[in-house]
A and B are shown apart, each in its own frame.
Chain A
Amino acid sequence: MPSATALRIQIEHTLERRFPAALTPVPRTIRETTPTGVSEVDKLLEGGLPVGAISEVTGPESSGRTSLAISFLARTTEEGRVCAWVDADDAFDAESAAASGVSLNQLLWVRCGSAGKLPKGKPYARLDQAIRATDLLLQAGGFAALVLDLGSTSAEYGLRIPLATWFRFRQAADRTRCSLLVLSQAPLAQSSAAVVLECAPLCAKTRDETVLSGYSYEVRSGRQRFTPALATARKPPASTWSATGTWEREKRA
C-alpha cells in the first residue's frame, strides 16, 4: 500500500498540468504591520496597516478617515519614527494631530496648492503637486509612514491618476519599507493597494444633548491582498469604532 506522501506526489504529478502543486499548501508570507492605534481596526486588519505597501482609507466627509490616519501617525511617531503628510487640499489640522498624540517635530507636512495661486475648482495642479511630492518622499526613503491626503478631492479627479503612478508608488514603498496611506473618497490605487478600508459615519455622541462628545464610525475591509481568501471569509467584514472630541476628558482606569 503506497504511503500518503507517495499518493500525494502521484496525485500532484497527475494534475501538474492543470493545478501545479495541488496538494501542497501555499507558503504564507507574514507581512510586517504597524498598528493604527484603533483596536477595532487593528483586529479587522489582523495587526494593522502593512509596512512597505499602499493602504487606502476611503469614504465621504466625516467618515473618520482623517482620525484614523492621525491615530496611525501618532502610533508611528511614538516609536521615534518619521512621517510625512502630503496634503493635496491643505486640510490638515495641526491642533487635532497634536491632541491625538502626533509628535509634530517628526512630521513633514507638504501643503500643496498655494492659496490664491491655483484656480479654484481645478484640482489638477494640486493633484500634480501632491503626486510629485509623494514620489520624491517615497524615493528619498527613511519615512516610516506617508499619508497622501486626497480626502477632499472628488473621486472624478482622483480616478484620473494613471495606474502606472500607483505601480511606481507600490514599488517605491516596498523598497523603502514605507507605509503609504491614501485618504480618498473612492478607491484609486486599484490592484496596487494592499489594503482598502471603506469608512462611513454612523452616529454622533453627545453629552447632555448640549455638547458633541464623539462620533462612531463604521469601517469595512474592502480588500486585503496579503490575506488568503479562506482566512478572510472567517473574519468579520466590518467593524465599528468611535472617536471622542479633543475637549473630552480622558477616561482613566
Chain B
Amino acid sequence: MKPENKPLYAAVHAAEFPAQTLQRLRPELQPDAIAVLDGRAPVETICSLNRRARQKGAALGMTRLEAESIPGLRLFPRSAENEDAARMALLECAAHFSPRLEDKSQGTACVCMLDITGTERLFGPPETLAERLRAALVAAGFRTSVAVSSNFHAARLKAAATRGITVIPANQEADALAKLPVELLGLAPEQTEIFVMWGVLTLGELAALPQVELVTRLGAQAAELRELARGALPHTFQPIEREFTLKEVCEFETPVDQSDSLLFVGARMIDCLVARAGARALSLASLQVQMKLEGEHAYRRVIRPAIPTTDRKFLLKLLQLEIAAHPPQAAVLSLTLSAEAGQSIKVQLGLFAPQTPDPSRLDITIARLKAIAGEDRVGSPVLEDTHRPGSFRMEHFSVANMQSSAAESNAPAQTRMALRRLRPPVPVRVELRDGKPVVFRDNERRFKVDAAYGPWKSSGCWWCDDGWNTEEWDVLAETSDGSSVACVLVRNVDVQSAATTPAYEHSIWQLEAFYD
C-alpha cells in the first residue's frame, strides 16, 4: 500500500457534552459551576458537569438533593433537543475537514470520527489539521480533544483519554495506548473484575497477555479486546448521511419573561446559524422562531427577509421587531431558531439604474412601520378584479421582485381627477327634489348642491352576503363656509330588502369621497 493510501483517522472527543451544550449558547455561564441533571424528578442525578463544578465538590451520580447543598452550583435539566442541535453543529464544523464522518457518541460524550485519508494536500500534515480542527471547534463553542491515528479505534481511545491534540505515528499505536486504563474499552463488570484480579490495569498490560491463553479463559471476545489494546483492531468506516438542518435550541433554567433576555440568547443562536450557513456559502432565507411557553402554549413566527442574508445585526433587528410586534403571551421555557438556507443574491448594479431602497434596510423600516400603523396597513395596494368601488388589498412591499415599469409607460397624456376617500364613508342626510339631491348635511357641515350628475348605478355579488347595489352621484356643492367642493355621494340599497319593497325605503346615503 502506498503511503498516501494508508487510512488516517481523526477522533474528536467532546467530554461532558450536556454541560458544554449549555455553555455554548450562553457564554455568561462560562465562569459558573454548572451541573446537568438527568432522570425523573425527584430522583434526578448529575450526568454532566464542568470543571468548576468538580472543584466545588460536585460529582457524577450525585442526587439533586446533594447537589443543591453545594453553594454556587447551578443545576440545569438535561435537554435531548438541545444536545441534538449542538451535535449537529459539531458535525457540521467537522465536515469542513472531511466529508466522511462517523458518529461514535456514547454516554455523555460526543465523539465524531473523521476519515482524513488523503487530506494532506488540503490541510497539511496531520498535526496541522488537528490544530485547525480543534480551533474551528473552539470557535463554534466546543472544548474537545483531538487524536489522529492510522487505526480507527486507537484514535478514538486516545482522544477519550487525553486532552489537547495527539498524533500517533504509524505502527506505534500499541505504545501510544500502553498507559491508558482498561476501563476505556467499555468492559462488562465481570471482565473488569477479572482484570483487576489479574492485576491488568492498563492497555499495555492487556496487550502483553498471550492471545491463546486469554481466549481460553475469557472467550472469543477477549481477542477483540486485546487487538483494541494493541491498536490493531480493524474497522469498517460507516459514514453518516448528514442532514443539513440549521437549528439551534436553548432551554432556560427558569421561565424568561423579558424580551431582552431572549434576544441575548437569540443573538448567539443567530451567530451560530449564520456561521454554519456561511461555511457552505449559503445565506438565511427565512428564520423560524419557536418558543415553548408556560402552560403548554406554543409560539411560532416566521421571519422572511426580502433577500437571503448573512447579516447578523440585520437578522437580530428583525427578530427584535418581530418579538416586539408579537410578544409571547406567557413566560418562555425554551427558544428554538431554525433557518432555511438560500442562495445569496448577487445583483449587478448599474451606474444609471434608479435609486431604490436597500432591501435589508427596507425590511427593518417596514417592520417598524407595521409596529406604528398596524400589521395590515403598510404595503403596496393591489386592485381587486371586481367592479366593487374602492376595492383593493394590501400586499407586502418589496423592491427585490419589483418589475420596473420604466419600459412600458401606462401614464395617460392628461392629468386625471383623483379621489380622496372617506374611510369609513360618512352617513349624510339628503334632501331630494325631482329625484336629485339638492341639499345634504353631515354632522358638521351643510352642503348646498349646485349640480348633481347621475345616478350611476352599480351592483354585483347579489348572490352572496356581501353584495352591493349602489347609486353614485357626482355632486358639485357649496359648503356652509362658502367653499366649493366636488364629491361623490352614494346611495346604498339593501340588496335583500329591495327585492320585496321599494328601493328608496332601504337606502342609505353616504358621502364617499371628494374629488381633489
Contact = CB atoms under 8 A, between A and B. Distances in A.
B394 A109 contact: yes
Contact of A211 (B399, B453, B486): B453
Interface stretch (A2-10, A19-27, A60-68, A223-231): A60-68
Given A91-B423, A95-B392, A78 B406 contact: yes
A212 B472 CA distance: 12
Contacts of B484: 62, 201
B369 interface: yes
Interface of A: 37-38, 60-71, 74-75, 77-82, 89-101, 103-115, 129, 132-133, 136-137, 140-144, 151-152, 177, 201, 204, 206, 210-212, 214-215, 241-246, 248, 250-252
B397 interface: yes
A250 B380 contact: no
B356 A81 contact: yes
Nearest to A39: B415
Interface in B381-401: 381-383, 389-390, 392, 394, 397, 399
B405 interface: yes
Going nearest first, the 9 A-B pairs with the smallest beta carbon separation are A142-B357, A101-B411, A80-B406, A94-B381, A66-B516, A80-B404, A93-B419, A96-B418, A111-B377
5 contacts: A38-B415, A94-B381, A95-B383, A114-B374, A151-B516
Nearest to B423: A90
B302 to A, nearest CB: 22
Interface string B492-516: 0000000000000000000001111
B412 interface: yes
Most central of B368, B369, B382, B399 by chain A CB within 10 Å = B369
Nearest to B375: A114
A242 B415 CA distance: 7
A185 B413 CA distance: 28
B393 to A, nearest CB: 10
Contacts of A62: 484-487, 514-516
B308 interface: no
Nearest to A91: B420
Interface of B is mostly: mixed
Interface stretch (B70-78, B264-272, B358-366): B358-366
Contacts of B362: 140, 142
Contact of B379 (A109, A129, A177, A214): A109
B412 A100 contact: yes
B357 A103 contact: no
Given A98-B383, A108-B380, A136-B369, A115 B424 contact: yes
Interface of A is mostly: mixed
Contact of B380 (A70, A100, A107): A107
A82 B357 contact: yes
Given A110-B369, A177-B355, A93 B411 contact: no
B178 interface: no
Interface string B462-502: 00000000000010100000011111000000000000000
Nearest to B401: A105
B451 A244 contact: no
A105 B403 contact: yes
A78 B406 CA distance: 5
Given A64-B516, A103-B405, A244-B415, A137 B356 contact: no
Contacts of B514: 61-62
Contacts of B412: 99-101, 250
B516 A144 contact: no
A93 B365 CA distance: 23
B1 interface: no
Nearest to A100: B416
A91 B410 contact: no
B448 to A, nearest CB: 15
Contacts of B357: 82, 140-143
Given A60-B483, A104-B382, A245 B416 contact: yes
B378 A110 contact: yes
Nearest to A199: B516
Given A109-B380, A136-B368, A70 B418 contact: yes
A156 B80 CA distance: 63
A115 B453 CA distance: 30
Nearest to A214: B417
